[in-house]
Amino acid sequence: MWANGEERQWLSAYVADFLTDARDAGATLPGGMLEDLQKRLQQYLRSEMPLYSYQGDKHYGFATRAYAGLVLARSNKASLANLRRLQQEMEAQPTEVKSSLPWAHLGRALQLSGDNQAAISLFERANNSSYQAGYYGDYGSALRDQALTFALLAAAGRDTAAPLLALF
């Protein structure tokens, strides 16, 4: 996909999310584009390739893999074992997750994949997390991450506007 430059994995997940939305809305997609992206996202989720790391932190990798997991789960292409493995990795290093959004992405992916118990645990982590200001390579901000977390929790039937309203 990124033949003209360096790959940015988070952007690959973003493009796949957009194409999934377009497909779900009835758009005709170029042949094989979404499927190729899904194969790449599966590699991210399985940790088959090194992911970008800004200043040696793990947030970008966790954020990218959780987002990839959600995008794949929306098409029933996420391995439950890989999602659970990512959950274990993130829970073992919670200070490396600098925002609520990766927790919400992974929680929704697990919910869509049928593991409601794990999803509830991750939604609670998302509700109890706040954005740690800094550049992590995932285009985040306090407003973006809280707004998307709220949208994911609402889609999961677990919305609470408190974290979003606290920004104002």
Q: Tell me the mean pLDDT in the region 79-98.
A: 94
Burial class (CB in 10 A: 0-12, 13-18, 19+), 152: buried
Of 138 and 96, more confident: 96
Enter the pTM of the model. Answer: 0.89
Q: Among 55, 40, 70, 46, which Cα is nearest to 156's?
A: 70
What pLDDT does 112 receive?
Answer: 95
- Nearest Cα neighbor of 138 from 91, 99, 87, 82 is 99
pLDDT in tens, 101-157: 999 999 999 999 999 999 999 999 998 888 888 777 778 788 888 888 888 888 888
The 3-state DSSP composition of the chain as helix, strand, coil percent (nearest 5) reads: 60, 0, 40
Digit-coded pLDDT (tens) for 16-72 = 999 999 999 999 998 888 999 999 999 999 987 777 776 667 888 899 999 999 999
Give pLDDT, residue 146.
85
- Would you state the pLDDT for residue 73? 97
Q: Can you read off the two tokens belonging to residue 32? A: 């094989």
Q: What is the pLDDT of residues 71-86, one digit of tens each?
A: 999 999 999 999 999 9
